[in-house]
Amino acid sequence: MSGGSTPDEVADHAFLAALAGLPAMGPARLRALLGLLGPAGSWKVASSGRLPREVQAVIGPRAASVATSWVEAARTCTPEAVLAELQSVGVTVTRRGEHGYPPALVDDPDPPEVLFSTGRPVVNENGPTVAIVGTRRCTRYGTEVAVEFGRGLAEAGVVVVSGLASGIDTAGHAGVLAAMGGTPPVAVVATGLDIVYPAQNRTLWRRVADAGQIISEAPLGVGPARWRFPARNRIIAALADVLVVVESHLEGGSMYTVTAALERDRPVLVVPGPIRSPASEGTNRLLSDGAAPACNLDDILCALNLVCLEPVSLATNHGAPPVSADPADLGVLDALGWEPTTLDGLATRTRLSPVQLGSAVGRLQRAGLISEERGFLQRCSGRGVP
């Protein structure tokens, strides 16, 4: 559905989609081809295998085998069929510089030449944009913070971008979806728009597509290749005016997003975490390296040069358990603290009998003040987070 496009543009989109679908076709190779030959010329060259020397230089020593694989792949598909398939599932194709291409990406040092997207064109409206990223292996703490930031930012009219991965990404999107009348969610994914990865996020994927926009650099049918995740992360960093890292281990995709954001002069805000939590090791390192802390919504809004009229402290919001809770139960809550703890650890700290403790934990779980994940108890805000 390239609405309002000229016939030439439509033909170009077909070539672009087909080119992007060739094996081992990364952003740099595609850019080299298009810069030299344009869409139609590039396709002709790629499907014939006679690559110009400039393109061979970009590909490097494996140019010959890459060229062969392109010829092989081009033999089995036609640009028209690729475009027709995209249109049949409602995917929009936009070329860099065209109307509908995210303005933030146009002058990027490493811009995607072509983007595929479903849903409404949220990122084109050029409103303030924040990316919420973090580890897939997050704690309850990270989950809750990501949900609250996602919700708060969406309600403040900020576009929230994330990557539809498990963990922090999921929590961030969930927060946006839970916002009342806020901005719609935006996701940038590493796979083709017909391939849900990770599979357990199918529902979330559909809800983000229905309410907002999902963008990918990959055409249909492209599975989760390793190199595509950092490539996707650079798009998230480029789309955002401010990057917020909620939780991150010392190594991981979020650290790549941080590097990409710093290369593009995007401010990076980091949520401080417990110094003993491995999931906060990376974020705490970023803080000591000089990143600004994101302790509440206001910190992020300030970084966007927006003003929040009523600064809300998440800490005071967290800390007030319902008055109805039993004083003994509150003692258990205090002993639990904000780190994941097993029942055994809690029993050692509180010196309660197993039955006293088991029943207190049961009551606190029902009150929404404790969550349990594979035996680990974690304190939560009690505000119904996924």
Partner 1 sequence: MGLPDASCREARDRVRAALVSSGLAWPSQRITVNLAPTGVPKAGAVLDLAMAVGLLVACGELEPETVDGLAFLGELGLDGSIRPVAGALPLVDAVEVEGVVVAPENRLEASLVEARQVYSVGDLRSLVRALRGDDEWPASPDLAEFDEIIQYPDLSDVRGQPIPRFALEVAATGGHHLLMIGPPGAGKSMLARRLPGLLPRLDSSDALQAARIRSAVGEELPPGGLVRRPPWRAPHHGASAAALVGGGSGTMRPGEISLAHGGVLFLDELGEFAPKVLNTLRQPLEEGTVRVSRVTGSTEYPARVLMVAAMNPCPCGGSGAPGGCRCPESVRARYVRRVSGPLLDRFDLRVDVRRPDPGELLDGNPGETTASVADRVATARQRAVDRGVRANSDLSPSDLEAEAVLEPAAVSLLEAALHAGRLSARGLHRVRAVALTISDLQGDEGSLGADLIDTALSFRIDPFSPVGPSVR
Distance CA 385, CA 174 (A): 9
The conformation of residue 123, written as its DSSP 8-state character, comes to G
Minimum CB distance to partner 1 smaller for 27 or for 252: 252
**Binding residue for partner 1, selected from 117, 162, 170, 216, defined by CB under 8 A:** 170
**What is d(CA 292, CA 375) in angstroms, rounded to the nearest whole number?**
34
Between CA 146 and CA 209 the distance in angstroms is 20
Pick the piece of the chain touching partner 1 (CB under 8 A) from 89-97, 115-123, 237-245, 348-356: 348-356
Binding residue for partner 1 (CB under 8 A) from 56, 78, 166, 259? 166
Examine residue 322 and tell whether it contacts partner 1 (CB under 8 A): no
Select from 248, 246, 239, 259 the least CA-distant residue to 103: 239
Q: Which stretch binds partner 1 (CB under 8 A): 105-113, 236-244, 261-269, 341-349?
A: 341-349
Q: In angstroms, rounded to a whole number, what is the distance separating the alpha carbons of residues 16 and 82?
A: 10
Which is nearer to partner 1, 171 or 333 (by Cβ)?
171
| Cβ pair 339, 349 in contact under 8 A | no
- Cα 75 to its chain centre, rounded Å, is 35
Q: Considering the complex, state which of residue 47 and residue 201 has its C-beta at the smaller distance from partner 1.
A: 201
Q: Which is nearer to partner 1, 101 or 141 (CB)?
A: 141
**Which residues fall within 8 angstroms of residue 102, CB to CB, at 6 or more apart?**
115, 123, 124, 215, 239
Q: How many residues bind partner 1 (CB under 8 A)?
A: 54
∠ CA 54-220-228 to the nearest 5 degrees? 55
At closest approach, how far in Å is the CB of 369 from partner 1?
Answer: 14
Instruction: For partner 1, give the closer residue by CB, 44 or 207.
Output: 207
Answer for which of 117, 280, 283, 381 binds partner 1 (CB under 8 A) is 280
Q: Is 279 in the site for partner 1 (CB under 8 A)?
A: yes
Select the span of 61-69, 105-113, 152-160, 378-386 touching partner 1 (CB under 8 A): 378-386
Residues 245 and 277: beta-carbon distance below 8 Å: no
Burial of 188-224, coded b for 16+ CB within 10 Å and e otherwise, reads bbbbbbbbbbbeebeebbebbbebbbbbbbbbbebee
Which of 47, 109, 373 is CA-nearest to residue 234? 109
Judged by CB under 8 A, the chain residues 34 through 53 that form the site for partner 1 are none
Shortest CB 36 distance to partner 1, Å = 40
Does position 361 interact with partner 1 (CB under 8 A)? The reply is yes
* Token digits of residue 323: 């008055």
The verdict on 340 binding partner 1 (CB under 8 A) reads yes
**What is the rounded CA–CA span in Å between residue 42 and residue 184?**
36
Backbone conformation region of residue 325, classed left if phi is above 0, alpha if psi is from -120 to 50, else beta? beta
Per CB under 8 A, contacts with partner 1 among 203-222 are 203-204, 207
Question: Stretches 77-85, 89-97, 115-123, 371-379: which one binds partner 1 (CB under 8 A)?
Answer: 371-379
139 binds partner 1 (CB under 8 A): yes
Task: Assess 355 for contact with partner 1 (CB under 8 A).
Answer: yes
Cβ at position 193, least distance to partner 1 in Å: 18
Q: Is 8 near partner 1 (CB under 8 A)?
A: no
CB of 187 to partner 1, least distance (A): 12
Alpha-carbon distance values, 166 to 97, 134, 169, 171, 204 (Å): 32, 10, 6, 8, 10
- Distance, CA of 97 to CA of 113 (rounded, Å): 9
**Minimum gap (Å) between residue 44 Cβ and partner 1:** 41
Alpha carbons 328 and 353: distance in angstroms, whole number: 12
Residue ranges that bind partner 1, judged by CB under 8 A: 135-140, 142-143, 146-147, 166-167, 170-171, 173-174, 177, 198, 200-201, 203-204, 207, 247, 249, 277-280, 340, 342-345, 347-348, 354-359, 361-363, 366, 372-376, 378, 385-386
